[in-house]
Amino acid sequence: MGGDNIQIIKNPSLIFSIILIFISLLLSGCIESSDDNNGMNFIFTLLDGGEKQLSDYYGKVIVLDLMGVSCQPCFYQMFELEKILTNYSSDDVTIISIDVWIVSGEDAELVNEYIDYLNDEFNLALSWTFGLDDTNGTILYQYAQEGIPAIYILDENGNIYYSHVGYTDYPTLSAKIRELLG
């Protein structure tokens, strides 16, 4: 019976899983939660180096796109987000795309090149807010652990109204936004 316990300890996948759970619990403490409305909130870095909190955008419907510039489905997601930008007033809806693959070496320069490429090659005006996760992957591990793109639509108080992992088409996004705007 004692030998069985030793086998469990020697199992690398079990040890790895335990370590991941421990790290996830530690990192979850880095995500801030708004005290007054249970809204989703965290700090991210803008491409110019400044910092913002998600709560800075409360008061509007927020379409939060957790992405990576090296992610093919994320590339196609930009076309759908641009339709949101075109068809909804910035007084009602704001879009925020955060590159969460900073842990894989993506950086502000790469994101800016990506935005320029999409503008030059496809005439996409990606004029919404772009940001970066921290080097620990805090946002990645809290909100995009299952994959990217990860889309969240938040109400005016930052509460999650809709979420989806993977490419999300414009009709789906638009329907959820219309529901929130009433």
What is the per-residue pLDDT across 69-112, written as a single tens digit (0 to 9) for each? 999 999 999 999 999 999 999 999 999 999 999 999 999 999 99
d(CA 109, CA 48): 10
- What is the model's pTM? 0.78
Q: Are residues 24 and 45 in the same domain?
A: no
Kindly state whether residues 147 and 158 are assigned to the same domain. Answer: yes
Together in a domain, 90 and 16: no
For 35-74, what is each residue's pLDDT tens digit?
334 678 999 999 999 999 999 999 999 999 999 999 999 9
Task: For residue 149, say if its preceding peptide bond is cis, omega within 30 degrees of 0.
Answer: yes
Domain that holds residue 19: 1-30
CATH of the domain at 64: 3.40.30.10
